[in-house]
Amino acid sequence: ALVDGPCSGVRRQAMPFKCMQLTDFVLKFPHSARQKHVQVAWEKENINEKWTGTRWAKKIEAREKKAKMTDFDRYKVMKAKKMRNRIIKHEVKKLQKQSSKKA
C-alpha cells in the first residue's frame, strides 16, 4: 500500500499491510495524485480533528501522559484514587444500610 501523511509528517512510501493498522478514514482523490492534492483532501475532510476525537488517539495520549509522570505526580494520583474509593465505599455502605432497613 502507498502511505502518505501530508499533515502528520509521514513521507510517501510503500508499506506492507501487515505493518499497518487501518482506520475508518478514507480520502477520495485521483490515482497518482501529488502530495499537494492529498493535503487538500486531508484538510477538506478534517482528518486530524477526526483522529483526535477517536478513542484510539485518546488512549495513546493518555499512555504518553502517564509515561511522562514524575514520582510526585504518581503519588498525587494514588492519593486521589484512595480518596475517591473511600467516598464510594462510604456511599455504598449508606445505601446498603438503607436497603437492609427497608427489607
Q: What are the DSSP E strand ranges found in 7-64?
A: 10-14
Number of domains present in the structure of the chain: 2
pLDDT confidence of residue 8: 82
Answer yes or no: do 51 and 88 share one domain: no
Cβ atoms of 13 and 7 closer than 8 Å? no
Hunting for cell 486521589 — which residue is that?
80
Quickly tell me which residue has 478514514 as its cell: 25
Alpha carbon distance 27, 37 (integer Å): 11
Same domain assignment for residues 8 and 43: yes
* pTM given for the model: 0.67
pLDDT in tens, 38-89: 999 999 999 999 999 999 999 999 999 999 999 999 999 999 999 999 999 9
- Number of other residues whose CB lies within 10 A of the CB of residue 42: 20
The verdict on 88 and 59 lying in the same domain is no
